[in-house]
């Protein structure tokens, strides 16, 4: 089983480090990560918070969100591949604020 505070590989940190840092400040923990130099720099990053899990994937240069119900991802416009990191980051942070049980005001 993955352990909280898994080490974030430098290449993943380069891609989404600021987003991960913001999520960690909101109580999310990196529980596992995998970077594959042999497959074009694709990677997987798993995070958890209070029993809620989410997976970020970089595949062929596109960023995606997984491990959430399809309907939830569709509702929050996350059921797609992102080419732009800024758009990905803002969409993920909006999803976190909109779905957090302690309320969005405490996360701002």
Residue 82 in domain: yes
* pLDDT single digits (tens) 28-67: 999 999 998 777 789 999 999 999 999 999 999 999 999 9
Total domains in the fold of the chain: 1
Query: Is a pLDDT exceeding 80 seen at residue 18?
Result: yes
Residue 19 in domain: yes
Residue 4 in domain: no
Which pLDDT value is given to residue 107?
45
- Give the N- to C-terminal CA distance of the chain in Å, as an integer: 32
DSSP 35-47: EEGGGTTEEEEEE
Distance CA 102, CA 99 (A): 9
Residue 5 in domain: no
Residue 20 in domain: yes
Which pLDDT value is given to residue 104?
45
Q: What residue numbers bound the domain in which 87 lies?
A: 10-99
Query: How large a percentage of the chain has pLDDT more than 70?
Result: 88
Residue 80 in domain: yes
Residue 108 in domain: no
Average pLDDT, the chain: 88
Q: What is the pTM of this model?
A: 0.85
Residue 29 in domain: yes
């Amino acid at each position: 089983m993955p352990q909280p505070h898994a080490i974030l590989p430098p290449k993943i940190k380069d891609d989404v480090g600021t987003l991960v840092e913001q999520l960690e400040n909101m109580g999310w923990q990196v529980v596992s990560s995998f970077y594959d130099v042999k497959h074009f720099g694709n990677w997987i990053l798993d995070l958890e918070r209070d029993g809620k899990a989410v997976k970020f994937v970089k595949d062929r240069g596109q960023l995606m969100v997984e491990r959430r119900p399809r309907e939830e991802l569709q509702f929050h416009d996350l059921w797609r591949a992102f080419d732009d990191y800024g758009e990905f980051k803002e969409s993920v942070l909006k999803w976190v604020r909109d779905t957090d049980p302690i309320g969005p005001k405490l996360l701002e």
